Protein backbone atom coordinates (compact mmCIF):
# COMPACT_ATOMS: atom_id res chain seq x y z
CA UNK A 1 0.00 0.00 0.00
CA UNK A 2 1.37 3.39 -0.88
CA UNK A 3 0.02 6.81 -0.06
CA UNK A 4 0.68 9.29 -2.85
CA UNK A 5 0.78 12.98 -2.07
CA UNK A 6 0.99 16.00 -4.29
CA UNK A 7 4.43 17.50 -4.74
CA UNK A 8 3.53 20.50 -2.64
CA UNK A 9 2.87 18.22 0.34
CA UNK A 10 6.16 16.36 0.12
CA UNK A 11 8.04 18.30 2.78
CA UNK A 12 5.14 18.18 5.22
CA UNK A 13 4.79 14.43 4.85
CA UNK A 14 8.48 13.86 5.30
CA UNK A 15 8.67 15.90 8.49
CA UNK A 16 5.47 14.37 9.86
CA UNK A 17 6.67 10.80 9.41
CA UNK A 18 10.34 11.24 10.23
CA UNK A 19 9.78 10.18 13.89
CA UNK A 20 8.44 6.83 12.66
CA UNK A 21 11.49 6.29 10.54
CA UNK A 22 13.82 7.25 13.38
CA UNK A 23 12.06 4.78 15.65
CA UNK A 24 12.62 2.07 13.05
CA UNK A 25 16.23 3.26 12.51
CA UNK A 26 15.71 3.61 8.78
CA UNK A 27 17.34 6.64 7.15
CA UNK A 28 14.95 9.08 5.54
CA UNK A 29 15.73 10.89 2.32
CA UNK A 30 14.80 14.52 2.85
CA UNK A 31 13.06 16.18 -0.10
CA UNK A 32 15.19 18.58 -2.09
CA UNK A 33 13.95 22.16 -2.35
CA UNK A 34 14.64 22.07 -6.07
CA UNK A 35 14.44 18.85 -8.03
CA UNK A 36 17.00 18.03 -10.67
CA UNK A 37 15.93 17.61 -14.29
CA UNK A 38 16.66 13.90 -14.00
CA UNK A 39 14.27 13.51 -11.09
CA UNK A 40 11.52 15.41 -12.89
CA UNK A 41 11.81 12.96 -15.77
CA UNK A 42 11.44 9.78 -13.68
CA UNK A 43 9.13 8.57 -10.93
CA UNK A 44 10.04 10.34 -7.67
CA UNK A 45 9.10 8.88 -4.34
CA UNK A 46 9.97 11.60 -1.87
CA UNK A 47 11.11 10.47 1.37
CA UNK A 48 9.15 9.31 4.14
CA UNK A 49 9.97 5.85 5.21
CA UNK A 50 8.82 3.77 8.14
CA UNK A 51 9.26 0.17 9.09
CA UNK A 52 5.79 -1.25 9.43
CA UNK A 53 3.84 -4.47 9.13
CA UNK A 54 1.96 -4.81 5.84
CA UNK A 55 0.33 -8.15 5.08
CA UNK A 56 2.56 -9.74 7.71
CA UNK A 57 5.81 -8.69 5.99
CA UNK A 58 8.19 -6.04 7.24
CA UNK A 59 8.47 -3.48 4.49
CA UNK A 60 9.16 0.18 4.10
CA UNK A 61 5.99 2.23 3.79
CA UNK A 62 6.73 4.85 1.19
CA UNK A 63 4.84 8.13 1.18
CA UNK A 64 5.41 11.10 -1.04
CA UNK A 65 5.17 12.38 -4.56
CA UNK A 66 5.10 9.86 -7.37
CA UNK A 67 5.00 10.62 -11.07
CA UNK A 68 2.84 7.66 -12.00
CA UNK A 69 2.65 7.89 -15.77
CA UNK A 70 5.99 6.25 -16.58
CA UNK A 71 5.38 3.32 -14.27
CA UNK A 72 1.79 2.80 -15.40
CA UNK A 73 2.81 2.17 -19.00
CA UNK A 74 2.15 -1.18 -20.64
CA UNK A 75 5.86 -1.94 -20.85
CA UNK A 76 6.35 -1.52 -17.11
CA UNK A 77 3.28 -3.59 -16.35
CA UNK A 78 4.59 -6.27 -18.70
CA UNK A 79 7.97 -6.22 -16.94
CA UNK A 80 6.34 -6.54 -13.51
CA UNK A 81 4.23 -9.45 -14.72
CA UNK A 82 7.31 -11.10 -16.19
CA UNK A 83 9.23 -10.78 -12.92
CA UNK A 84 6.36 -11.97 -10.73
CA UNK A 85 5.62 -14.90 -13.03
CA UNK A 86 9.26 -15.95 -12.77
CA UNK A 87 9.20 -15.90 -8.96
CA UNK A 88 5.81 -17.61 -8.69
CA UNK A 89 7.02 -20.37 -11.01
CA UNK A 90 10.22 -20.73 -8.96
CA UNK A 91 8.20 -20.93 -5.74
CA UNK A 92 5.88 -23.51 -7.27
CA UNK A 93 8.85 -25.56 -8.41
CA UNK A 94 10.37 -25.57 -4.93
CA UNK A 95 7.06 -26.59 -3.35
CA UNK A 96 6.58 -29.41 -5.87
CA UNK A 97 10.14 -30.63 -5.32
CA UNK A 98 9.68 -30.62 -1.53
CA UNK A 99 6.44 -32.58 -1.89
CA UNK A 100 8.07 -35.11 -4.23
CA UNK A 101 10.95 -35.69 -1.79
CA UNK A 102 8.68 -35.83 1.24
CA UNK A 103 10.16 -32.68 2.77
CA UNK A 104 8.24 -30.25 4.92
CA UNK A 105 7.07 -27.19 3.01
CA UNK A 106 9.05 -24.09 3.93
CA UNK A 107 7.72 -20.59 4.54
CA UNK A 108 10.64 -18.88 2.80
CA UNK A 109 12.04 -19.74 -0.59
CA UNK A 110 15.47 -21.36 -0.41
CA UNK A 111 18.31 -18.86 0.10
CA UNK A 112 21.20 -21.05 1.16
CA UNK A 113 23.54 -20.04 -1.65
CA UNK A 114 23.68 -16.31 -0.90
CA UNK A 115 26.40 -16.51 1.75
CA UNK A 116 28.72 -18.08 -0.82
CA UNK A 117 27.76 -15.61 -3.51
CA UNK A 118 28.39 -12.60 -1.30
CA UNK A 119 31.76 -13.92 -0.11
CA UNK A 120 33.46 -16.31 -2.58
CA UNK A 121 32.28 -14.46 -5.69
CA UNK A 122 34.11 -11.32 -4.51
CA UNK A 123 36.98 -13.01 -2.61
CA UNK A 124 35.60 -11.69 0.68
CA UNK A 125 35.34 -13.18 4.15
CA UNK A 126 32.10 -13.00 6.10
CA UNK A 127 33.91 -10.65 8.51
CA UNK A 128 33.88 -8.01 5.75
CA UNK A 129 30.21 -7.40 6.60
CA UNK A 130 30.69 -7.09 10.36
CA UNK A 131 28.62 -4.20 11.74
CA UNK A 132 27.98 -2.80 8.25
CA UNK A 133 24.76 -1.42 6.80
CA UNK A 134 24.04 -3.39 3.62
CA UNK A 135 21.58 -2.59 0.83
CA UNK A 136 20.77 -5.14 -1.89
CA UNK A 137 19.24 -3.83 -5.13
CA UNK A 138 16.62 -5.99 -6.84
CA UNK A 139 16.89 -8.73 -4.24
CA UNK A 140 13.73 -10.67 -5.11
CA UNK A 141 11.75 -12.59 -2.47
CA UNK A 142 14.26 -15.22 -1.32
CA UNK A 143 15.90 -13.23 1.49
CA UNK A 144 19.27 -12.52 -0.08
CA UNK A 145 20.74 -10.94 3.06
CA UNK A 146 19.34 -13.32 5.69
CA UNK A 147 22.78 -14.90 6.07
CA UNK A 148 23.94 -11.59 7.58
CA UNK A 149 21.54 -11.75 10.54
CA UNK A 150 23.65 -11.14 13.63
CA UNK A 151 26.60 -10.03 11.47
CA UNK A 152 25.60 -6.80 9.72
CA UNK A 153 24.17 -3.80 11.56
CA UNK A 154 21.31 -3.43 9.06
CA UNK A 155 20.12 -5.38 6.00
CA UNK A 156 17.80 -3.69 3.51
CA UNK A 157 16.44 -4.66 0.10
CA UNK A 158 15.06 -2.25 -2.48
CA UNK A 159 12.80 -3.84 -5.08
CA UNK A 160 9.81 -2.31 -6.91
CA UNK A 161 7.86 -5.55 -6.35
CA UNK A 162 8.59 -5.82 -2.62
CA UNK A 163 4.93 -5.56 -1.60
CA UNK A 164 4.17 -8.63 -3.73
CA UNK A 165 6.75 -10.79 -2.00
CA UNK A 166 4.78 -11.45 1.18
CA UNK A 167 2.80 -14.14 -0.62
CA UNK A 168 6.10 -15.82 -1.53
CA UNK A 169 7.27 -16.06 2.08
CA UNK A 170 9.31 -12.88 2.44
CA UNK A 171 7.27 -11.88 5.51
CA UNK A 172 9.36 -14.39 7.49
CA UNK A 173 12.66 -12.59 6.85
CA UNK A 174 14.48 -10.30 9.26
CA UNK A 175 15.73 -7.97 6.49
CA UNK A 176 13.74 -4.85 5.59
CA UNK A 177 12.08 -4.63 2.18
CA UNK A 178 11.67 -1.22 0.51
CA UNK A 179 9.19 -1.08 -2.36
CA UNK A 180 10.83 1.35 -4.80
CA UNK A 181 12.70 1.37 -8.12
CA UNK A 182 16.48 1.33 -7.95
CA UNK A 183 16.61 4.54 -9.99
CA UNK A 184 14.99 6.53 -7.15
CA UNK A 185 15.52 5.09 -3.67
CA UNK A 186 13.74 6.97 -0.84
CA UNK A 187 16.55 6.59 1.69
CA UNK A 188 19.06 9.14 2.89
CA UNK A 189 22.41 9.82 1.23
CA UNK A 190 25.55 8.18 2.67
CA UNK A 191 23.42 5.65 4.57
CA UNK A 192 25.14 2.38 3.62
CA UNK A 193 28.58 0.79 3.85
CA UNK A 194 27.80 -1.77 1.14
CA UNK A 195 25.39 -1.73 -1.80
CA UNK A 196 25.06 -4.89 -3.89
CA UNK A 197 23.50 -5.90 -7.20
CA UNK A 198 23.70 -9.59 -8.03
CA UNK A 199 22.27 -10.33 -11.47
CA UNK A 200 19.80 -7.46 -11.21
CA UNK A 201 21.26 -4.36 -12.83
CA UNK A 202 20.12 -5.52 -16.28
CA UNK A 203 16.56 -5.54 -14.89
CA UNK A 204 16.50 -1.73 -14.58
CA UNK A 205 15.66 0.88 -17.19
CA UNK A 206 18.70 3.13 -16.69
CA UNK A 207 22.17 2.01 -15.56
CA UNK A 208 23.28 5.63 -15.23
CA UNK A 209 20.49 6.52 -12.80
CA UNK A 210 21.04 3.39 -10.74
CA UNK A 211 24.78 4.05 -10.50
CA UNK A 212 24.07 7.64 -9.47
CA UNK A 213 21.77 6.35 -6.71
CA UNK A 214 24.35 3.79 -5.59
CA UNK A 215 26.97 6.54 -5.30
CA UNK A 216 24.53 8.74 -3.38
CA UNK A 217 23.52 5.99 -0.95
CA UNK A 218 27.07 4.83 -0.18
CA UNK A 219 29.13 6.55 2.46
CA UNK A 220 32.57 7.77 1.25
CA UNK A 221 34.78 4.72 0.96
CA UNK A 222 31.75 2.40 0.82
CA UNK A 223 31.71 -0.51 -1.62
CA UNK A 224 29.40 -1.46 -4.49
CA UNK A 225 29.40 -5.20 -5.26
CA UNK A 226 28.26 -6.12 -8.77
CA UNK A 227 27.66 -9.38 -10.56
CA UNK A 228 25.96 -9.31 -13.96
CA UNK A 229 25.87 -10.96 -17.35
CA UNK A 230 27.43 -8.97 -20.17
CA UNK A 231 26.24 -8.47 -23.74
CA UNK A 232 22.89 -10.27 -23.58
CA UNK A 233 20.04 -8.77 -25.61
CA UNK A 234 17.14 -7.08 -23.79
CA UNK A 235 14.08 -9.11 -22.78
CA UNK A 236 10.81 -8.13 -21.04
CA UNK A 237 12.30 -9.07 -17.65
CA UNK A 238 15.76 -7.65 -18.41
CA UNK A 239 15.20 -4.53 -20.53
CA UNK A 240 18.79 -3.26 -20.57
CA UNK A 241 22.02 -4.79 -21.77
CA UNK A 242 25.29 -4.44 -19.85
CA UNK A 243 28.33 -3.93 -22.04
CA UNK A 244 31.98 -4.67 -21.39
CA UNK A 245 33.73 -1.56 -20.12
CA UNK A 246 31.01 -0.99 -17.53
CA UNK A 247 33.65 0.39 -15.15
CA UNK A 248 33.75 3.63 -17.15
CA UNK A 249 30.03 4.12 -16.45
CA UNK A 250 30.70 3.51 -12.76
CA UNK A 251 33.55 6.05 -12.80
CA UNK A 252 31.23 8.66 -14.27
CA UNK A 253 28.98 8.16 -11.24
CA UNK A 254 31.86 8.60 -8.80
CA UNK A 255 32.58 4.90 -8.22
CA UNK A 256 36.22 3.86 -8.56
CA UNK A 257 36.92 0.33 -9.81
CA UNK A 258 38.50 -1.58 -6.91
CA UNK A 259 38.56 -4.89 -8.79
CA UNK A 260 36.88 -5.85 -12.07
CA UNK A 261 36.98 -9.30 -13.66
CA UNK A 262 35.35 -10.53 -16.86
CA UNK A 263 34.73 -14.19 -17.68
CA UNK A 264 33.37 -15.95 -20.75
CA UNK A 265 31.68 -19.31 -20.20
CA UNK A 266 28.90 -21.43 -21.61
CA UNK A 267 25.41 -20.67 -20.34
CA UNK A 268 25.54 -23.10 -17.43
CA UNK A 269 28.91 -21.74 -16.39
CA UNK A 270 27.50 -18.21 -16.23
CA UNK A 271 25.38 -19.24 -13.25
CA UNK A 272 27.19 -17.57 -10.32
CA UNK A 273 27.42 -20.77 -8.25
CA UNK A 274 28.93 -22.64 -11.20
CA UNK A 275 31.19 -19.70 -11.99
CA UNK A 276 32.60 -19.72 -8.45
CA UNK A 277 33.46 -23.41 -8.81
CA UNK A 278 35.01 -22.89 -12.25
CA UNK A 279 37.15 -20.02 -10.95
CA UNK A 280 38.31 -21.98 -7.90
CA UNK A 281 39.33 -24.99 -10.02
CA UNK A 282 40.98 -22.91 -12.72
CA UNK A 283 38.42 -23.93 -15.34
CA UNK A 284 37.51 -20.27 -15.86
CA UNK A 285 40.12 -17.54 -16.19
CA UNK A 286 39.61 -13.77 -16.42
CA UNK A 287 39.51 -12.24 -19.90
CA UNK A 288 39.78 -8.66 -21.05
CA UNK A 289 36.83 -6.43 -21.83
CA UNK A 290 38.00 -6.50 -25.46
CA UNK A 291 37.73 -10.31 -25.47
CA UNK A 292 34.14 -10.07 -24.29
CA UNK A 293 33.36 -7.47 -26.94
CA UNK A 294 34.89 -9.73 -29.61
CA UNK A 295 32.62 -12.56 -28.54
CA UNK A 296 29.42 -10.54 -28.83
CA UNK A 297 30.59 -9.12 -32.16
CA UNK A 298 30.66 -12.54 -33.88
CA UNK A 299 28.02 -12.26 -36.66
CA UNK A 300 26.24 -15.50 -35.75
CA UNK A 301 26.08 -14.47 -32.12
CA UNK A 302 24.73 -11.08 -33.14
CA UNK A 303 22.09 -12.86 -35.20
CA UNK A 304 21.17 -14.99 -32.20
CA UNK A 305 20.67 -11.77 -30.25
CA UNK A 306 18.54 -10.26 -33.01
CA UNK A 307 16.13 -13.18 -33.11
CA UNK A 308 15.90 -13.34 -29.35
CA UNK A 309 17.93 -16.46 -28.56
CA UNK A 310 18.78 -16.10 -24.87
CA UNK A 311 19.22 -19.74 -23.93
CA UNK A 312 20.63 -22.93 -25.41
CA UNK A 313 22.46 -22.65 -28.72
CA UNK A 314 23.16 -19.76 -31.04
CA UNK A 315 21.69 -19.41 -34.55
CA UNK A 316 24.26 -21.91 -35.92
CA UNK A 317 23.48 -24.55 -33.30
CA UNK A 318 26.64 -23.92 -31.29
CA UNK A 319 26.55 -23.73 -27.46
CA UNK A 320 26.01 -20.17 -26.33
CA UNK A 321 28.89 -18.39 -24.63
CA UNK A 322 28.09 -15.63 -22.19
CA UNK A 323 30.15 -12.88 -20.61
CA UNK A 324 30.02 -12.26 -16.86
CA UNK A 325 31.29 -9.29 -14.85
CA UNK A 326 32.31 -9.46 -11.20
CA UNK A 327 33.19 -6.04 -9.86
CA UNK A 328 33.85 -4.12 -6.66
CA UNK A 329 33.58 -0.35 -6.89
CA UNK A 330 34.51 2.09 -4.15
CA UNK A 331 32.79 5.41 -3.65
CA UNK A 332 35.40 8.10 -4.08
CA UNK A 333 36.32 9.96 -0.91
pLDDT of 271 above 80: yes
| Nearest by Cα to 179 from 224, 139, 207 | 139
Sign of CA dihedral 172, 61, 211, 191: negative
Using DSSP bridges, classify how beta strands 49-54 and 154-158 pair: parallel, antiparallel or unpaired.
Answer: unpaired
Q: What is the pTM of this model?
A: 0.77
Inform me whether the pLDDT recorded for 77 exceeds 80. Answer: no
State the chain's maximal CA–CA distance in angstroms. 61
pLDDT in tens, 146-182: 999 999 999 999 999 998 999 999 999 999 999 999 9
Task: Quote the pLDDT of residue 282.
Answer: 87
Distances (CA, A) of 110 to 99, 184, 323: 14, 29, 26
Q: Which residues contact 41 (CB under 8 A, 6 or more apart)?
A: none
Mean pLDDT of 217-238: 90
Q: What is the pLDDT of residue 261?
A: 94
Q: What is the pLDDT confidence band of residue 17, given thresholds at 50, 70 and 90?
A: very low
pLDDT digits (tens, 9 = 90+) for 87-105: 999 999 999 998 998 888 8
Amino acid sequence: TAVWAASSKRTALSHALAPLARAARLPVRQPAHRESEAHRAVPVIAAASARVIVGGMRVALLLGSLATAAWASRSETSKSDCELNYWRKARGGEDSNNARLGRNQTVSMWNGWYKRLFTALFDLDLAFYNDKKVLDIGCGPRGSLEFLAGVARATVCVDPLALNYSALGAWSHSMVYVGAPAEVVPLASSSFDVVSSLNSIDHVESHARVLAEVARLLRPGGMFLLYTHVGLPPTPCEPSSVRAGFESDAANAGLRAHSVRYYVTNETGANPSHLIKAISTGAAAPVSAADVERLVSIPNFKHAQAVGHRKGNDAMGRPRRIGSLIGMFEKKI
